[in-house]
């Protein structure tokens, strides 16, 4: 079996392998920042780490291309850290374990980091090459794209002089992305009183596993199951039919990932255990049937556990279940102007009830900032009725499409020339840093593209080898075609 280092183009895959040996969780990028800094300095190139942690590496134009428009090539250093339940892995200390499976590179039970590691590796390959022609180049490696885009937000105006920005963070190789959604985080935090479960009750652990999950922007239109919604539905019915009482709930994690798993501990009166099991069996049958095509590996399991359970009070439980039931999840509105584009959505990303603390986390996205804010306000009002502290944070703008720009015309025509088909020029529902960078550099033309990366933000993440080769060819030819300053 081939190793990843043996794949073509070798320069790119070797840089990807080196990058993936460095831990790089969002908000814990110290090691990868130093890695990028060391890389630039080892090449003798001007290398800057700004005050927030972004790394900028400058490389002069190759001979004969000094008159071309200067460009910025941009990707983010951090990665989403998700693993399967039974995978033993520490994202803060270990490198990613990769393997080749026919035309795919995958990771062993974790996210792969191809989002956005392939983009980073491609830029590194350009920087380290002495043969590849290119205009004057600034490589911008941002931090914390996945959990707040604080790197792009904190980039100081005036740091870049490029006229065209090539963002290498799109995940389908036939797409040229020219716009994206903005987003805002919504967090409900509260405290609650608990008391010992009645002595005539039995503790059950209820587990949801094996959901497909995925990117809460790119994959939201696929209608995949949300583990937090499933758990709330199960407990709602178990509460009304078997007097189930909540001891704890832990579901989901990162805001930009559709929740794949949830666990709860419930207290059931001894004389209602059969009713509880019958209820869960019936609701499980319904849920698995409703999502058979989107989440075929889903599992709902329960078992009695020998532990003392402290339960929430009845009013808290009723209000919590009602609040979660009424929280929007999934598509809120499709674009009336762009075919098949999700305009606005919400991801019910995190539900935690444990040891007197409650936390609910959402990510609301929209390509229309006013609609994003309106949906976030509606969720905020709903959460405020529950009580506790409701915060909106991490707001970032969308990226308004400019289909008439020169770089869009150049690359769409080049794609047709190289691959004998039209590229899909469109906006996406994911969050890209272009919208934020565009506020700092409003005159800079921007476009995003990349290879096929499927299952991003989940342990199913994989990147297609042949597609990386296609993307690399397209990138190299684009560099040759960048127009002159005249």
Instruction: Share the mean pLDDT of the chain.
Output: 96
Contact 367, 409 (CB under 8 A): no
For residue 79, count other CB atoms closer than 10 A to its CB: 30
Nearest Cα neighbor of 188 from 316, 3, 88, 310 is: 316
pLDDT > 80? residue 105: yes
State residue 209's pLDDT score.
Answer: 96
Residue 298 C-alpha from the chain's centroid: 21
**328: number of Cβ within 10 Å:** 17
Q: What percent of the chain has pLDDT over 70?
A: 100
Q: Give the distance, in angstroms, between the CA of residue 202 and the centroid of all CA atoms in the same chain.
A: 39
pLDDT value, residue 338 = 84
CB neighbour burial string for 238-275, b if at least 16 within 10 angstroms, e if fewer? bbebbbbbbbbbbbbbbbbbbbbbbbbbbbbbeebeeb
Parallel, antiparallel or unpaired: strands 55-59 and 46-49: antiparallel
Per-residue tokens: 453: 């990366």
Q: What share of residues in the chain are helix, strand, coil (percent, to 5)?
A: 30, 30, 40
Answer yes or no: are the C-beta atoms of 216 and 258 closer than 8 Å: yes
pLDDT of residue 314: 95
Inform me whether the pLDDT recorded for 343 exceeds 90.
yes
When pLDDT is averaged across residues 49-76 and rounded to a whole number, the result is 97
pLDDT of residue 219 exceeding 90, the answer is yes
Rounded Cα distance, 361 and 385, in Å: 16
Angle between helices 273-290 and 227-242 (to 10 degrees): 150
**Closest listed residue to residue 321, CA positions, set 226, 233, 189:** 233
> CB under 8 Å to 364, separation ≥6 — which residues?
183, 184, 186, 344, 345, 346, 347, 372, 375, 376, 379
Give the pLDDT confidence score for residue 156 in this predicted structure. 86
The sign of the torsion formed by the CA atoms of 239, 244, 246, 251 equals negative
User: What per-residue confidence (pLDDT) applies to 244?
Assistant: 98
The pTM (predicted TM-score) of the whole model is: 0.85
Locate 448 and state its tokens: 């995003």
Residue 318 and residue 324 in contact, taking contact as beta carbons nearer than 8 Å: no
Contact 242, 276 (CB under 8 A): yes
Residue 85's pLDDT is 81
Quote the CA–CA distance of 229 and 216 in Å, as a whole number. 14
Q: What is the pLDDT of residue 106?
A: 98
Contacts of 158 (CB under 8 A, 6+ apart): none
pLDDT (tens digit, 9 = 90+) per residue, 454-486?
Answer: 999 999 999 999 999 999 999 999 999 999 986
* pLDDT at residue 307 in the model: 83
Are 428 and 221 contacting, i.e. CB atoms less than 8 angstroms apart? no
pLDDT of residue 485: 84
The CATH class for the domain spanning 4-180+399-481 reads alpha beta
Domains 4-180+399-481 and 184-396 share a fold: no
Q: Which residues are catalytic?
A: 78, 145
% of the chain surpassing 90 pLDDT: 92
CATH 3.30.70.360 fits 184-396, yes or no: yes
Give the residue extent of every domain in the chain: 4-180+399-481, 184-396
- How confident is the model over 361-373, as a mean pLDDT? 95
Q: Between the CA of residue 314 and those of 99, 129, 191, 389, what are the distances in Å?
A: 50, 65, 15, 20
Over 90: is that where the pLDDT of 389 sits? yes
Closest to 213 measured CA to CA, from 464, 462, 455, 463: 455
Q: How far apart are CA 453 and CA 114, in angstroms?
A: 7
Rounded to an integer, what distance in angstroms lies between the CA atom of residue 68 and that of residue 137? Answer: 10
251 falls in which pLDDT band (50, 70, 90)?
A: very high
pLDDT at position 387, please? 87
Contacts of 79 (CB under 8 A, 6+ apart): 24, 25, 26, 111, 113, 115, 116, 117, 146
Position 400 confidence tier, pLDDT thresholds 50, 70, 90: confident
From residue 364, alpha-carbon distances to 20, 64, 183, 333, 385 in Å are 30, 47, 5, 12, 19
């Amino acid at each position: 079996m081939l190793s990843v280092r043996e794949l073509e183009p070798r320069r790119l895959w070797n840089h990807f392998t080196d990058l993936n040996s460095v831990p790089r969780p969002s908000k814990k990028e110290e090691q990868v920042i130093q890695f990028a800094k060391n890389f630039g300095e080892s090449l003798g190139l001007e290398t800057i780490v700004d005050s927030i942690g972004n790394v900028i590496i400058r490389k002069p134009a190759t001979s004969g291309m000094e008159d071309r428009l200067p460009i910025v090539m941009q990707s983010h250093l951090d990665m989403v850290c998700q693993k399967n339940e039974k995978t033993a892995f520490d994202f803060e200390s270990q490198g990613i374990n990769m393997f080749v499976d026919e035309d795919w590179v995958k990771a062993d039970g974790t996210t792969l980091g191809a989002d956005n590691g392939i983009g980073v590796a491609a830029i590194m390959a350009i920087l380290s090459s002495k043969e590849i022609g290119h205009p004057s180049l600034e490589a911008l490696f941002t931090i914390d794209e996945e959990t707040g885009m604080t790197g792009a937000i904190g980039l100081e105006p005036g740091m870049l002089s490029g006229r065209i920005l090539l963002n290498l963070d799109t995940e389908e190789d036939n797409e040229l992305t020219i716009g994206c959604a903005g987003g805002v985080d919504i967090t409900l935090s509260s405290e609650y009183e608990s008391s010992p479960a009645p002595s005539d009750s039995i503790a059950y652990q209820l587990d949801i596993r094996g959901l497909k999950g995925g990117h809460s922007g790119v994959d939201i239109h696929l209608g995949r199951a949300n583990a937090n919604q499933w758990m709330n539905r199960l407990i709602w019915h178990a509460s009304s039919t078997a007097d189930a009482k909540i001891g704890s709930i832990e579901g989901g994690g990162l805001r930009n990932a559709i929740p794949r798993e949830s666990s709860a501990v419930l207290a059931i009166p001894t004389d209602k255990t059969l009713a509880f099991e019958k209820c869960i069996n019936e609701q499980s049958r319904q849920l698995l049937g409703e999502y058979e095509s989107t989440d075929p590996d889903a599992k709902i399991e329960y078992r009695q556990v020998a532990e003392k359970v402290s339960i929430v009070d009845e009013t808290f439980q009723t209000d919590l279940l009602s609040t979660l039931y009424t929280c929007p999840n999934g598509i809120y509105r499709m674009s009336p102007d762009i075919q098949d584009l999700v305009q606005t959505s919400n991801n019910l990303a995190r539900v935690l009830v444990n040891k007197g603390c409650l936390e609910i986390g959402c990510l609301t996205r929209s390509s229309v900032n006013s609609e994003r804010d309106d949906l976030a306000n509606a969720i905020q009002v709903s959460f405020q009725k529950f009580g506790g502290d409701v915060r909106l944070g991490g707001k970032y703008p969308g990226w308004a499409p400019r289909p008439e720009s020169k770089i869009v015309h150049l690359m769409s025509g080049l794609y047709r020339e190289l691959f004998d088909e039209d590229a899909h020029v469109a906006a996406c529902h994911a969050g890209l840093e272009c919208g934020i960078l565009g506020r700092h550099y409003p005159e800079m033309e921007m476009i995003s593209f990349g290879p096929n990366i499927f299952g991003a933000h989940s342990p199913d993440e994989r990147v297609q080898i042949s597609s990386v080769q296609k993307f690399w060819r397209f990138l190299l030819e684009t560099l040759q075609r960048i127009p002159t300053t005249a």
